[in-house]
Amino acid sequence: MFRIESEDGNARTGKLKLAHGTIKTPFFMPVATKAVAKFIDSGDFKQSKTQCIISNSLILHLTAGSDAIKKLGGIHKFMNWGKGIFTDSGGFQMYSEQMLIETKAHGVLFKHPKNGKKFFCSPEGSMDIQQKIGSDVAMCLDDMPKFGAKKERILDSMKKTYEWAKRCKAHHEKINRKKQLLFGICQGGLYPELRKKSAEMISSIGFDGLAFGGLALGEPISKMFSAVKVGMGSMPKEKPKYLMGVGFPSQIIEAVSMGVDCFDSTYPTMTARHNYLLTMNGVVEIDKNRYAEDGNPVEKECDCYICRNFSRAYIHHVSKTKEPAGYRLRTLHNLMFMARLMERIRTAIKENELNKLKKELIKIK
Amino acid sequence: MFRIESEDGNARTGKLKLAHGTIKTPFFMPVATKAVAKFIDSGDFKQSKTQCIISNSLILHLTAGSDAIKKLGGIHKFMNWGKGIFTDSGGFQMYSEQMLIETKAHGVLFKHPKNGKKFFCSPEGSMDIQQKIGSDVAMCLDDMPKFGAKKERILDSMKKTYEWAKRCKAHHEKINRKKQLLFGICQGGLYPELRKKSAEMISSIGFDGLAFGGLALGEPISKMFSAVKVGMGSMPKEKPKYLMGVGFPSQIIEAVSMGVDCFDSTYPTMTARHNYLLTMNGVVEIDKNRYAEDGNPVEKECDCYICRNFSRAYIHHVSKTKEPAGYRLRTLHNLMFMARLMERIRTAIKENELNKLKKELIKIK
């Protein structure tokens, strides 16, 4: 299911085999919360060389409905996407004041952000929903404390996350009819001893992959990487590792060099909406007047739809005038950038040149 | 330049040769005011089988700038669109309270809708701008009275439009280096005698094509068609005729049967943004709950991107959740619908069956 093919220090490149295709690792997943990303559909993902996306099972359940998606043949058919799909459990929605009512011992009480209807999500319920949706990789329901929570709360979340993880695993084994993989999530905040303990506990359950939750929430980067490092030390090497919520290119390279294989973030799509275009030479703020008459493509070396078809001047024009088509065009470029970045990282690992690449890409955020 | 190939009553089908390609008539132009439509770029137009679009030279001049567009190789290169482009003169912006300051004897005083800067548009200036932009067909600057204006004002606009049309023609002859065609516009409101007179006066100048301005503004449909009929009677048969602002399928068919060859409207794009999908069987209001689990395509006979790739249920989902990608997907379908409609109209004319088609499509608005 996961095969490491080359190593460069702790970094590794290989293949993760899913029910829908095989993914080259390390890889980055754009966020398509509702089986669609902002301005971007499955055809757009395809042309941006995306290998795998992540949707949100809780939000999908509350909008399209997991029963409807199952009836329509599962999420891949629903959104017409033949490649990899992870689903998040909804743990992250505990971060939403609009949605969280209360974390209980046996699950989470949410309210529907639109109609206010209450909805209780148990570990078993989350597994059922993700199985109906039919993603390639389901994520455990974890208990995610708020950023800056006290140690006591972190300890509590760590324990709850472990209990829920065991229940997720047991229930998933019973219901899994679709070669769906299940990843466990460790918590433990920024406390090295708690992060270590949580990583050990979650690793002991025997998941197909292991994720870091509760990070990339605005904490100092050095603290995030300390937590990743101590966690990695307690996880079996042969499992794929997923650092949730990380999307800055510099942080991706750093995490890859520590052995992380998988990432997701709204960074490339969100930053595109703010007129930032990611390039190997740094960010291009395309709405700045200096691009108004620039006939060059955004990035000469890029093969994305916008770099093949439009000048900086045109992208400047549709950006400056806030045309909705511009939002899509910028997003297409940034998605392709992430695909190109990950490809370069995989090649560098194969060639034992990850450190060299890290220095070369120092100008990238 | 314009060749009539088949006739069915007063309706005719043929070819209009432009600097960028040859257009099969009758045809419909989606509105791409700023060299981009709402949610739609040139690649989207292409895949929706659009033959020709219309941009707004005044708005383009005030945003991207006509000098910049010229420097960048003209509008076709700017927006990467190799087919037909009409540009409107800005006459229609007299309808914008945000933009119009005053109609003077020698042109129109506008203010920039964003920065309030004044801008005087003369007939000659409009020709210069449209020539720099490099559209295939330029439209004369006309004086457009508000809907419901008194007869006196209509008479005044008719005279001004004639004076300006002569100046447009004279100036355009001097500056035209790009095989750009120039269409004249008749005014005259809903007064048969004024509409007739205006059509005669504008026809006498010798334009490449003739347009109806000041209609489709909310007047009773029968009055609009009376004005078209009386105007058509005073225009030479061999010139292409353009009914500005008409986009309802039923009105297009009616106008085609009176001999009109060309149309533009925001109808298909705007209606898509309101969740209305146009089909040969009538409108599908895709956000209605009855489509939530409908695995069929929006329209079985349609070959557009969304009908080939997604179910009604998916389009319902992205519409109900107001996802921006949904706005684009719906618009793609409606643009393809217009292309299919015009194709059916052209075929019906060739086969002398326009009346039959009219009855068949009675369910369409």
Instruction: Tell me how far CA of residue A81 lies from CA of A32, A34, A36, A46, A263, in angstroms.
Output: 11, 13, 10, 8, 19
Choose the weakest-confidence range: A110-114, A235-239, A340-344: A110-114
Q: Is the pLDDT of residue A92 over 80?
A: no
Interface of B with A in 175-214 (CB under 8 A): none
Cβ contacts (< 8 Å) between B44 and chain A: which residues? 325
Which element (helix H / strand E) includes B243? Answer: strand B241-243
Mean pLDDT (whole number) for B287-292 = 97
For residue B75, name the pLDDT band (cuts at 50, 70, 90).
very high
The reply to whether B298 and B243 lie within a common domain is no
Q: State the nearest Cα–Cα gap between A243 and chain B, in angstroms.
A: 27
Looking at residue B68, what is its pLDDT? 98
pLDDT at position B329 is: 98
Active site residue A142: no
What pLDDT, on the 0 to 100 scale, is given for residue B363? 76
Rounded average pLDDT over A273-292? 97
Residue B361 located in a structural domain: no
Whether A105 is covered by a domain: the verdict is no
CA–CA separation, A15 and A118 (whole Å) = 41
Same domain, B103 and B114: yes
Please state at what angle helix B192-203 crosses helix B151-175, rounded to 10 degrees. 10
Indicate whether B123 belongs to any domain. Answer: yes
- Whether B4 and chain A come into contact, CB under 8 Å, resolves to no
Instruction: Verify that A258 and A288 share a domain, yes or no.
Output: no
For residue A341, the model assigns a pLDDT of 98
pLDDT > 80? residue A363:
no
In a domain, B319, yes or no: yes
Q: Which residues contact B313 (CB under 8 A, 6 or more apart)?
A: A64, A68, A72, A78, B291, B292, B293, B294, B295
Catalytic residue among A136, A142, A143, A264: A264
Q: What is the mean pLDDT of residues B136-144?
A: 95
β B11-17/B22-25 pair status? antiparallel
* A106-164 pLDDT, tens digit each: 888 888 878 888 888 999 999 999 999 999 999 999 998 888 889 999 999 999 999 99
Name the closest residue on chain A to residue B81, using Cα atoms: A309
Asked if residue B289 has pLDDT above 80, the reply is: yes
Q: How far off is chain A from B41, nearest CA to CA, in Å?
A: 6
Kind plus residue range of the DSSP H or E element containing B306: helix B305-309
Q: Do A259 and A299 share a structural domain?
A: no
Residues ≥6 apart with Cβ < 8 Å to A59: A33, A34, A90, A93
Same-domain check for residues A214 and A312: no
Q: Are residues A147 and A241 in the same domain?
A: yes
Cα four-point dihedral sign B280, B282, B286, B292:
negative
Give the range of the structural domain holding residue A222, as residue numbers without chain letter: 2-94+123-265
Q: Which of A44, A88, A261, A287 is catalytic?
A: A88
pLDDT, residue A100, reads 83
**Total structural domains in chain B?**
2
Look at B22 and B145; give whichever has higher pLDDT. Answer: B22
Q: Which of A29-33, A229-233, B99-103 has the lowest mean pLDDT?
A: B99-103
Give B193→chain A minimum CA distance, Å: 42
Is pLDDT of B219 > 90? yes
Place of tokens 């560098």: A348
Give the pLDDT confidence score for residue B145 in this predicted structure: 86
**The last residue of a domain, from among A265, A281, A315:** A265
Q: Do residue B255 and residue B106 come from a single domain? A: yes
Q: How buried is A80 (Cβ within 10 angstroms: 0-12 exposed, 13-18 middle, 19+ buried)?
A: middle
SS3 of A68-126: HHHHCCCHHHHHCCCCEEEEECCHHHHHCCCCEEEEECCEEEEECCCCCCEEEECHHHH
Residues A167 and A25 in one domain: yes
Q: Quote the minimal CA–CA distance from B358 to chain A in Å.
A: 35
To which residue do tokens 């009055």 refer?
Answer: B223
Q: What is the pLDDT of residue A111?
A: 85
Q: Averaged over A89-101, what is the pLDDT?
A: 76
Mean pLDDT of B140-157: 90
- pLDDT above 70 covers what percent of chain B? 99
CB contact under 8 A, A317 and B293: no
The reply to whether B196 and B96 lie within a common domain is yes
**Pair A161, A248 in one domain:** yes
Least confident of A100-104, A179-183, B204-208: A100-104
Catalytic, A136? Answer: no
Residue B93 has pLDDT above 90, yes or no: no
What is the reported pLDDT for B215? 94
Instruction: Answer yes or no: is B362 within a domain.
Output: no
Residues on chain B touching A295 (C-beta within 8 angstroms): 72-73
Question: Is some CB atom of chain A closer than 8 A to the CB atom of B40?
Answer: yes
Strand B22-25 versus strand A118-121 pairing type: unpaired
In this structure, the answer to whether residues A250 and A172 fall within a common structural domain is yes
pTM for the model stands at 0.96
Calculate the average pLDDT of chain A.
95
The last residue of one of the domains, among A223, A245, A265, is A265
Note whether A228 and A337 are same-domain residues.
no
A331 to chain B: nearest residue by CA? Answer: B325
Instruction: Look up the CATH number of the domain holding residue A9.
Output: 3.20.20.105
Report if residue B364 sits inside a domain.
no
pLDDT value, residue B178: 76
**pLDDT tens for residues A194-204?**
999 999 999 99
Instruction: Report if residue A60 sits inside a domain.
Output: yes
Q: Show which of B265, B293, B323 is a domain's final residue.
A: B265
Nearest residue of chain A to residue B67 (CA atoms): A293
| Contact list, B325 vs chain A (CB under 8 Å) | 36-41, 44, 328
CA dist A235 and A212 (Å) reads 11
pLDDT by residue (tens digit) across B323-350? 999 999 999 999 999 999 999 999 999 9
Percentage of the residues of chain A whose pLDDT score is greater than 70: 99
Confidence category of residue A95, pLDDT binned at 50, 70, 90: low
Q: Which residue type sits at B200?
A: E
| pLDDT above 70 for B77 | yes
Within a domain: B31: yes
**Could you tell me if B328 lies within 8 Å of chain A, comparing CB atoms?**
yes
Residues 263-302 on A with a CB inside 8 Å of B are 292-293, 295
SS (H, E, C) chain A: CEEEEEEECCEEEEEEECCCCEEEECEEEEECCCCCECCECHHHHHHCCCCEEEEEHHHHHHCCCHHHHHHCCCHHHHHCCCCEEEEECCHHHHHCCCCEEEEECCEEEEECCCCCCEEEECHHHHHHHHHHHCCCEEECCCCCCCCCCCHHHHHHHHHHHHHHHHHHHHHHHHHCCCCCEEEEEECCCCCHHHHHHHHHHHHCCCCCEEEECCCCCCCCHHHHHHHHHHHHHCCCCCCCEEECCCCCHHHHHHHHHCCCCEEEECHHHHHHHCCEEEECCEEEECCCHHHCCCCCCCCCCCCCHHHHHCCHHHHHHHHHCCCHHHHHHHHHHHHHHHHHHHHHHHHHHHCCCHHHHHHHCCCCC
